[in-house]
Amino acid sequence: MYDRSVQFYDALYGFKDYDAQTERLTRFIRAEYPDARTLLDVACGTGKHIELLRRDYVCEGVDIKPEMLSIARERCPDVPFHVGDMTDFHLGRRFDVVMVLFSSIAYVKTPERFDLAIDRLCEHLDTGGLLIIEPFFDREHFWTDRVTANFVDQPELKITWMYVARKEGEVGVLDIHYMVGTKDGVNEFVERHELGLFDREQYETAFRRNGISLRFDPDGFCGRGVYYGRRIRPLE
């Protein structure tokens, strides 16, 4: 995913109000863990959340796509960014807040990799630390056979991207068709996004295994809801 669209990522998601969402996120962290000072953003993408969060926290970021992190490093040259898969990264230190936003947890795809990812996130969470995850749809609520279309209309960049949501077994599949227009011409390509459909029971089991009591806010920061909890059990 994002192999060809990475250069347009910020334009594709230009509809996201990062300022408002990050303000809500910051208020949330202050309410849940007022003493938090350090923050790790996993699947940080191009660093737009970190760009705002670094005003209040000492931040680091992890993402599986080096191309994403190249953009993030230009945006936030003073922030450490690390290439890593959320199921097996190891930074050798722990943070007050560890988070995965914008439903990126779904890209682990399978229940086995989901469990590995939660374990790795918690491995980097200090005792008393706050884990925050914005979920994707679960199996019951994933919409299928629905056409979604989005548009970018900038002076030098026009993009139409659309897909029909399908379910293949326990995985949601989005074959996203892009038509990109620049001064050099119009190009078309397709990217396949395969997303795991994890339910509350899976979150509860994984959180509990890591000494976290699961809580859920149905609104979250952008309407996707959020699973969260403090890690009370001492690290081994």
Per DSSP bridges, beta strands 95-100 and 171-182 are unpaired
Burial of 207 (0-12, 13-18, 19+ CB in 10 A): buried
DSSP 66-117: HHHHHHHHHH-TTS-EEE--TTT---S--EEEEEE-TTGGGGG-SHHHHHHH
Can you give the pLDDT at residue 154? 96
Can you give the pLDDT at residue 4? 87
- Angle of helix 200-209 relative to helix 111-123, nearest 10 degrees, comes to 40
Q: Map out the domains of the chain as residue ranges.
A: 6-138+198-230, 147-196
pLDDT tens digits for 6-46?
999 999 999 999 999 999 999 999 999 999 999 999 999 99
CA-based end-to-end distance of the chain? 36
CATH for the stretch 6-138+198-230: 3.40.50.150
**CATH topology (fold) of 147-196:** S-adenosyl-L-methionine-dependent methyltransferases (2.20.130)
The stretches in the chain having pLDDT less than 70 are 234-236
Can you give the pLDDT at residue 223? 85
Longest dimension (CA), the chain: 57
Can you give the pLDDT at residue 3? 85
DSSP 175-217: EEEEEEEETTEEEEEEEEEEEE---HHHHHHHHHHTTB--EEE
Contacts of 223 (CB under 8 A, 6+ apart): none
